[in-house]
Structure 1
Amino acid sequence: MQVAEILRPDGVKVQACSPSKRRLFQDLAEMAQSCWALDPAKVNEALLEREALGPTGVGHGVALPHARLSGLDRVRGLFMRLERPLDFDAVDRQPVDLVFCLLAPASAGVDHLKALALVSRTLRDPAICSKLRANSDPATLHTILTESGPRNLAA
């Protein structure tokens, strides 16, 4: 699996700010609607339910919100760079400015975990995160994510 398989160019956005995690999830749900034709209410609800189990802020300004949804045929991704970092209850208590959202089929099983591991490994690379933070063009961000990260995650 490669990042390019789950993240389309129109699934990347730069946003000035988001006043709360709840609003950010609404924005991601709206992106899912325009990019993947998903029901934004269902996406938002699934993200909020997953977040209630524990924060998905993984540290170093990165959050990986994710959820399972019925009706999806495969894992889908969305990426948002926030110009103003948001308090996300991250493990290191640092605000988040890089958000990679994963949406997986309800029955995804190992594919969901593979995608999560791939994205996590990609965003653990300080050089990639620096490039993402230094750019505001969504096309450039997509290229950084799809060409700079781990090329493959073995089955």
Structure 2
Amino acid sequence: MEISSLLNPNAVKLVNQASSKRRLFRDLGDVAENVYGLCAPHILDALLDRESLGPTGVGHGVALPHARIEEIDHVAAVFLKLEKPMDFDAVDRQPVDLVFALFAPQQAGVEHLKALALVSRTMRDTSICAKLRANHDPAILHAVLTEGPASQAA
């Protein structure tokens, strides 16, 4: 599994500002609807439900929201770079500016976990995060996320 198989280039966006986690999740839903044909309100509800179990801010300015969605048949991703970091209740209490969301079918057990592990490994790489923070072009952001050894599952 590679990030390039999960993340459509059109699902990489810059966001000027998200006023709340709910607003950010709505933005994720809008991108997922436009790129993958998913239902934005379902995405919002699923992300809020998952977040109620515990925050998905993993630290170092990174959040990995994820949810299972009825109407999808494969794991899909959306990446948002926030120009203004926001409070996300992250484990290290630091604001988040890099958001990599995953959406998986209801029955995608192992596939969802492999995708989440791959994205987590990628976003723990400080050099990748530095490159993401240094660039503002969605095409370059997509290239950074999909290149290199971190993009391949072990």
Q: TM-score normalized by structure 2?
A: 0.98
Q: Is the CA contact 1:60–1:92 (under 8 Å) kept in the aligned structure 2? A: yes
Matched ranges for 1:5-154 at <5 A: 5-148=5-148, 150-154=150-154
Give % identity. Answer: 59
Cα RMSD, aligned residues only = 0.8
Q: Kindly state the Cα deviation for residue 85 of structure 1 after the two structures are TM-superposed.
A: 0.2
SS at 2:78 equivalent: strand
Q: Kindly state the Cα deviation for residue 150 of structure 1 after the two structures are TM-superposed.
A: 1.4
Q: Is the CA contact 1:13–1:80 (under 8 Å) kept in the aligned structure 2? A: yes
Q: Kindly state the Cα deviation for residue 70 of structure 1 after the two structures are TM-superposed.
A: 0.9
SS at 1:26 equivalent: helix
What residue ranges of structure 1 are gaps of 5+ in the alignment? none
* Structure 1 residue ranges, 4+ long, deviating more than 3 angstroms after superposition: none
What residue ranges of structure 2 are gaps of 5+ in the alignment? none
Q: Is the CA contact 2:82–2:97 (under 8 Å) kept in the aligned structure 1? A: yes
Q: Is the CA contact 2:122–2:151 (under 8 Å) kept in the aligned structure 1? A: no
Q: Kindly state the Cα deviation for residue 152 of structure 1 after the two structures are TM-superposed.
A: 1.8
SS at 1:150 equivalent: helix
Question: 2-side partners of 1:71 and 1:128: how far apart?
Answer: 31
